[in-house]
Amino acid sequence: MLAYAGLVAVLVVLAATLAATAAPVAAGYRPVVVHGGSMGDSIPNGSLVMARWVNAGEVDVGDVILIQETGSGGAAAPKLHRVVSLEADGGNILARTKGDASPAADPPLYVLPDRVLTPAYHIPSLGFVLARVTTAEGWLLFIALPGTLLCLLTIQSIWFPAPRGALPAALRPR
């Protein structure tokens, strides 16, 4: 019975975690897991950020934006940095960014695309859980295995019910 309650608790926690991610996605937000410490305590490493799209013209100095740079080897990992200056260059908006924990601004100017992701809110440490669950091993360990054990315990209780009035083994006198 204790194992059954433990499995149910694990599945409820995982379902709540996935719902906390899925509901905002349905509302148009995009989940982003923070994999670095450049934003310091304002958005710590391992946070789950729910980001929303804004037009590039709505970005102001002081806003945090998601930067997706491209280099010679393809697209680099996205990063969250704060806008410290904005410049207009023809039809482009150029932003200089800086991580809150970094002493200096990023050297290159970033050309803002038409729409930019900016954090609406973040949940510290939930990104670690989501990042782990979304791997094949994490899915197996946190979802498939507890779900299978829960099903087996349920089948066992249906096929081999305890006699009425019988005490569970843990409560029987020794």
pTM: 0.68
Query: Out of 1.10.10, 2.10.109, 1.10.3470, 2.60.40, which CATH number does the structure's domain 34-124 have?
Result: 2.10.109
**More confident position, 114 or 6:** 114
In this structure, of 50-64, 80-94, 125-139, 152-166, the range with the lowest mean pLDDT score is: 152-166
**Residue in 103, 64, 67 with CA at minimum distance from that of residue 84:** 64
Contact residues for 34 (Cβ-Cβ < 8 A; gap 6+): 43, 44, 45, 46, 47, 48, 49, 80, 122, 127
Distance CA 113, CA 68 (A): 10
Cβ neighbours, 10 Å, residue 92: 13
DSSP 155-174: HHHHHSPPPTTPPPGGGS--
pLDDT confidence of residue 75: 67
**More confident position, 28 or 173:** 28
- Bridge partners for 71 per DSSP: 74
Residue 157, classed as helix, strand or coil, is helix
E strand or H helix that includes residue 98: strand 92-98
pLDDT confidence of residue 2: 73
pLDDT confidence of residue 64: 96
How many C-alpha atoms does 111 have within 13 Å on its Cβ side?
6
Banded pLDDT at 172 (limits 50, 70, 90): low
Question: Counting Cβ atoms within 10 Å, is residue 57 exposed (0-12), middle (13-18) or buried (19+)?
Answer: exposed
Instruction: Tell me how far apart the 2 most distant CA atoms of the chain are, in Å.
Output: 85
Q: Convert the pLDDT of each residue in 22-61 to its tens digit.
A: 778 888 888 888 988 999 999 999 998 999 999 999 999 9
pLDDT confidence of residue 45: 92
Output the CA angle 56-72-85, nearest 5 degrees. 30
> Is residue 132 pLDDT above 70, yes or no?
yes
Q: Convert the pLDDT of each residue in 65-115 to its tens digit.
A: 998 876 666 667 788 999 999 999 888 999 999 999 999 998 889 999 999
> Is residue 167 pLDDT above 70, yes or no?
no
